[in-house]
Structure 1
Amino acid sequence: MEFDATWMLLGLPLAFVLGWLASRFDLRQLRAENRRAPKAYFKGLNFLLNEQQDQAIDAFIEAVQNDPDTSELHFALGNLFRRRGEYDRAVRVHEHLLSRGDLTPADRERAQHALALDFLKAGLLDRAEDALNRLEGTPFEAQARLALLAIYERSRDWSHAASIAQKMHAADQGDFSTRQAHYLCEQALALSVQGDRAGAKALLEQAIAAAPDAARARIELARLQQLMGQPDAVLATLQTLGERAPAALPLAAPLLVEAGNATGRQAEVHARLVAHYEQSPSLDVLESIVAMEAANDATQATARARYVQHLDKERSLVAAAKWLSAEKLEHEEFHPQIQRALEHAVKPLTRYRCAACGFEARQHFWQCPGCQTWDSYPARRVEEL
């Protein structure tokens, strides 16, 4: 059968027309999809600005379905899920992003950081730790290290916390010397409980070397020296404390009195406390002075007068209640009830208060139990603030 060239001449224009029609159809479909995606995106943005998060999420999901390769929409959607507390959905969004092979290195690091935040918010600390460690060497490194530090502090993993703090200090990401000293003190306390006092002492000496002007390490060392039966060493340590961190001396005043009594150097300790009190009146230092003078028959009257003298300097309900407790009243039969009422009224004034969050406690903390901030408790009672 001979080939008829006429069919070729007719077929070529037909194929061209069909191809042109197909391309126009695809172009129209593409334009329609592109119109739908921005429309859904802007609709979601409008809902978000109006704080209508449920409608915003629905709109963003529609936009992602129309254009699943848009990474910015995935990030927006994941952040919305996290803000709403839907951490499992946020994790799925960011894990999907990380599984994509076409993601740029910058977006991959951003997705890794977002995933770490998802795990942190969800309380999955082990998975958050792993995700944060993957951010080493990225632009999110500093934020990741801070988050890791918080994780290790929360879990009381002081050795790992010290390692991270050392890295941040070496990288000029802040002064973490005092924080490192706290970690060493925490480890020293653990060793002391286990009976390894020599090891605890070595760690406390490292803490003093790391932060010479920090108060905690010297106070903890003085307490350890007292347990080891070294009152002279206690006095030497607390003398240095008074020179390097005088504001913290009220926390160690009772310990100073005990060491003075144990060494027979009461006069020296009394003079030191009085000198500190004259420079910076404090209830704890006042109590220690009164305790020393009340133990001596020759100064018992002077001891009670200290409270009145304190009232000349400070308007202290605590000092007034202390003075009134030993005072004779006209109607002495009512004295116990009055004293109980006063003691109940002054009890909140003798607490310590966190300067960061306002959490109050009967004892002084180096790290606030409420907000986890270090050194946020002043060495003064609520009444003195």
Structure 2
Amino acid sequence: MEFEIWWLLGIPVFFALGWIAARVDIRELLSESRTLPRGYFKGLNLLLNEQPDKAIDAFIDIVKLDPETAEMHFALGNLFRRRGETERAIRVHQNLLSRPDLPPEQKVHAQYELGQDYLKAGLLDLEKALLADRKNVRATMLIGDVHLANGDVEAALLAWRRVEQQSVPHVALVAQRLMDGYKQVGRAQEGVNLLKTYMAEASSIDLLEVVFKAVIEIDGVDAAKQLVSEQLRRTPTLLGLDKLLEARLMDAQPQHWEELSMVKNLVHGYTQKLARYQCSQCGFKARQFYWQCPGCSQWESYPPRRTEELNVMN
């Protein structure tokens, strides 16, 4: 019975201690809130009332008065970017960078965040372009490039793979990107298998070039020779023959190497004249693929195949 009485006597003591602790916490909270700039609450209120532009102005004024609130700017900018309001995020981070008293480490942080803002803005613009034209291969490729620049390789691969659904011949333009991406995530064999599937759907010298190099690296010279031989049977081109001779030179006997090398050099020299893209409007030829012709300035006038391939197909 004595034990229970002590417990009963102790209950008010515990309540008293809790009340004192709560009073101390409340006082600390009130003390800290008094140190916050008045503009902080004004900006917060404007945000809650869906007036983000006025809120930005309020927070900018705070930073001018109190440089220690830079972290608040970073949080606000990131909030806008996550909501897709990239123009506001850019404005916030640009304001930070304009401050001459910004410490070097925070300046680097602000530059990084501003770069993320521009990447996000570019991504949104590209997605709008795709909504306007679902067959816009260039927009899809650039979306993949933006994801890669942002460190998201899987998202980049997903974007580049969508090119096949838009235009199978254009897959050759993303072949190297795809192969590099699959290597980066440790799935090189999956990348080779995917590109081989694309080759079966639409043969391409540029596609063959990428797969050829990857197969040599992963499966060896014999597999590369078989790959090129099968490609030549499907689409006989000098550019394909050039690849076959290159593979044969890798394991040629010493007594045959010189002859093979001479033939390879002759074929290679001639193929350099054929390895051109040609504008369908003005006939301008170029070694690299252009979305806008340098000759006539026409957009999307280049087929994604080299001239020799087009001649074989015709």
Contact 1:317 1:346 in 2 (8 A): yes
Provide the secondary structure at the position in 2 that maps to 1:295. Answer: helix
What letter matches 2:233 in structure 1? Answer: D
1:376 to 301, 305, 314: 301
Contact 2:168 2:202 in 1 (8 A): no
Residue 317 (structure 1) aligns with? 238
- Structure 1 CA distance for aligned equivalents of residues 170 and 123 of structure 2: 20
CA spacing shift, 1:333–1:277, aligned 2, 3 Å: closer
Residue 228 (structure 1) aligns with? 150
Contact 1:260 1:269 in 2 (8 A): yes
- Structure 2 CA distance for aligned equivalents of residues 283 and 334 of structure 1: 25
Deviation at 1:368, TM superposition (A): 0.8
Map 1:1-385 → 2, pairs under 5 A: 196-296=118-218, 298-327=219-248, 328=252, 330-385=255-310
CA spacing shift, 1:267–1:335, aligned 2, 3 Å: closer
- Structure 1 CA distance for aligned equivalents of residues 300 and 151 of structure 2: 29
Contact 2:228 2:243 in 1 (8 A): yes
- Structure 1 CA distance for aligned equivalents of residues 257 and 216 of structure 2: 23
CA spacing shift, 1:236–1:355, aligned 2, 3 Å: same
Deviation at 1:360, TM superposition (A): 0.5
Contact 1:208 1:217 in 2 (8 A): yes
What letter matches 2:131 in structure 1? Answer: A
Deviation at 1:194, TM superposition (A): 11
Task: Summarize deviations over 1:258-288 as a string: whole Å, max 9, x none.
Answer: 1111122333322221222112111122222
What letter matches 1:378 in structure 2? Answer: P
Residue 146 (structure 1) aligns with? none
Q: Percent identity?
A: 28
What letter matches 1:216 in structure 2? Answer: R
Contact 2:276 2:285 in 1 (8 A): yes
Deviation at 1:335, TM superposition (A): 4.5
Deviation at 1:357, TM superposition (A): 1.2
Residue 106 (structure 1) aligns with? none
- Structure 2 CA distance for aligned equivalents of residues 310 and 292 of structure 1: 15
- Structure 1 CA distance for aligned equivalents of residues 121 and 273 of structure 2: 38
Residue 27 (structure 2) aligns with? none
What letter matches 2:230 in structure 1? Answer: Q
RMSD: 2.3
The structure whose RCO (Cα within 8 Å, separation 6+) is larger is 2
- Structure 1 CA distance for aligned equivalents of residues 179 and 205 of structure 2: 15
Deviation at 1:193, TM superposition (A): 10
CA spacing shift, 1:247–1:334, aligned 2, 3 Å: closer
- Structure 2 CA distance for aligned equivalents of residues 195 and 347 of structure 1: 42
Contact 1:214 1:245 in 2 (8 A): no
Name structure 1 gaps, 5 residues minimum. Answer: 1-191
Contact 1:366 1:377 in 2 (8 A): yes
- Structure 2 CA distance for aligned equivalents of residues 292 and 222 of structure 1: 21
Provide the secondary structure at the position in 2 that maps to 1:222. Answer: helix
| TM norm structure 2 | 0.57
What letter matches 1:316 in structure 2? Answer: T
What letter matches 1:339 in structure 2? Answer: K
- Structure 1 CA distance for aligned equivalents of residues 302 and 191 of structure 2: 26
Deviation at 1:337, TM superposition (A): 4.1
